[in-house]
Amino acid sequence: MGDRVTVGIVGASGYGGVQLVRLLLDHPQVEITYLGGEGSAGRPYTELYPHLQGRVNLTVEPVSVEVIRDRAEVVFLSLPNGIACKLAPQLLEQGCKVLDLSADYRFQDLKTYTQWYGEPREDAATAQKAVYGLPELYRDRIRQSSLIGCPGCYPTASLLALAPLMKQGLIEPNTAIIDAKSGTSGGGRQGKINLLLAEADNSLAAYNVARHRHTPEIEAICSDLAGQSVLVQFTPHLVPMPRGILATVYATLRDPGLVREDLITIYQAFYRHSPWVNILPPGLYPQTKWAWGTNACFIGIEVDERTGRIIVMSAIDNLMKGQASQAVQCLNLMMGWPETMGLPQVAFYP
């Protein structure tokens, strides 16, 4: 174990944290040496997650930058928004590599962050060093960085669907509409009335319409790709299943002569070096179950010649490609390892 990279997880008690634990336990190049949290400090990790009996022998500890520095070369921050920005600058100063799973380092423009998240920020210099952790778009920059702002779950599914269109100017950029549906684990492990079985089961509902916090994140990356300011219409929905996201994206094509087969070829070329993105053949549309427990994204493409619109469907596991396994994919790039290392390749099906 001596040559393995030591890793700590702060916020290990949530769903994102336990996904990280599962993945890193099976990763051939790392060793988990620290699990941190405030609410669960002092409790054996297996008390929180009994299914890990015999696999994890660590106790959740209070969060201490000095302890983390002494134990871990790499730190994953799986914390509520507004907390990582207080820890990350200190950890970077101590020489740690940091991957933040909250929204704190997804924005270069901290005014946008404060506008949508309501938290004033005093770490602009640190935020400028952060790289947006979507490897399919920023692979080379991630390799050189010590601070990664890992994307949100909805933005991951949405941006992988939109990126070729925005980057290559194939759509009228402000016509993009994203209709996305997520399983209940996206709401976290804390008890919430709308996530109770009696409330969520046998029901489907939109929420945070026209004001979801992932909207500016999607817009910022689309604007970067398009080379101009882009606005999108984003509506999320809660689906009564534990995990998975399906984002269906609609946009007006600039060239109405483009057909489905042309666009599939364009997507295949765009993602030719991206092992986790699967562009489906004509007439096949993705299902969330195909991605369960993996870092995969499945993309289906259709063109409505009658309306001149492209329809792109993108399916991921919200806790994996939308959160934990994407963070591990970024770690692999930061460390110079193959980006598929230690990540499950095939879904647990059915």
Catalytic machinery residues: 153
Looking at residue 347, its amino acid is A
- Contact (CB, 8 A) for 145 and 131: yes
- Contact (CB, 8 A) for 186 and 245: yes
Q: Report the distance separating Cα 77 and Cα 101, nearest Å.
A: 6
Q: Which of 149, 324, 155 is nearest to 236 (CA)?
A: 155
Looking at residue 339, its amino acid is E
- Contact (CB, 8 A) for 340 and 28: no
- Contact (CB, 8 A) for 131 and 147: yes
In the structure encoding, which two tokens stand for residue 317, read together? 């596991």
Question: What radius of gyration, in Å, describes the C-alpha atoms of the chain?
Answer: 20
* Residues 6 or more apart in contact with residue 144 via CB below 8 angstroms: 131
